[in-house]
Amino acid sequence: EDQVTQSPEALRLQEGESSSLNCSYTVSGLRGLFWYRQDPGKGPEFLFTLYSAGEEKEKERLKATLTKKESFLHITAPKPEDSATYLCAVQAWGDSNYQLIWGAGTKLIIKP
Amino acid sequence: NAGVMQNPRHLVRRRGQEARLRCSPVKGHSHVYWYRQLPEEGLKFMVYLQKENIIDESGMPKERFSAEFPKEGPSILRIQQVVRGDSAAYFCASSPALKAGFYEQYFGPGTRLTVT
């Protein structure tokens, strides 16, 4: 069964303290892995798509990487405005290849 | 450059009433997806529609729930005879037509349904 697990569930950091969020996945064949950011009371905001192992993408203080089993979202010198829930989703090859399978998210809190 | 629009943003219904949730996709997007999110839980796929077609409704309860995406107008998620367990945030997402590749989904702000 296709599955996505994110860890930790919650992460509290001081402003400027770099860290990483993990997204482990089990799919029959990975078509793509997506990272989203969700603020309270809002819809998920698209961040990155990764397609193959070894791929990396960056946006401001965020960098996403992908291996054959997991993805990491690295946050460098975070600011309070980076506080949000970060969601990971995968899309698998197959008949229902448009479906996204979601992790439960990591709630990131950056304290000033 | 309007993104996905959903309305209403908040909806309160008493048990047994009907709830209608509307979604206007990004201009030019022909694919619409509906998701449900319970507090502290991940997003759960409900239904995938193209214009005038339901492609996959495997995540949608067979009773009381229905969805449509007409040729003209927004996509509608309809919940009949709502129960307290239907209380959740409902998100709509859209993407361009799927061709050789595939496209990320863009989400609306959601409709928060509360059943009293």
Q: Quick one: average pLDDT of B34-60?
A: 90
Residue from B7, B10, B24, B43 to probe the interface with A (highest A Cβ count within 10 Å): B43
Neighbours of B74 (CB within 10 A): 17
Q: What distance in Å separates residue B3's CA from the closest CA in chain A?
A: 11
Contact B56, A96 (CB under 8 A): yes
The verdict on A49 touching B (C-beta cutoff 8 Å) is yes
pLDDT, averaged across chain B? 91
- pLDDT digits 0-9 by tens, B61-75: 999 999 999 999 999
Q: pLDDT by residue (tens digit) across A27-79?
A: 888 889 999 999 998 999 999 999 999 999 999 999 999 999 999 999 999 99
Q: Does the structure show a pLDDT above 60 at B99? A: no
Q: From start to end of chain B, where are the E strands?
A: 5-7, 10-13, 19-24, 31-37, 43-50, 53-56, 65-68, 75-79, 88-95, 106-107, 111-115
Quick one: what percent of chain A has pLDDT higher than 90? 81
In B, which residues are within 8 Å of A98 by CB distance?
Answer: 31, 33, 48, 55-56, 95, 98, 102
Q: Could you tell me the pLDDT band of residue B104, with boundaries at 50, 70 and 90?
A: confident
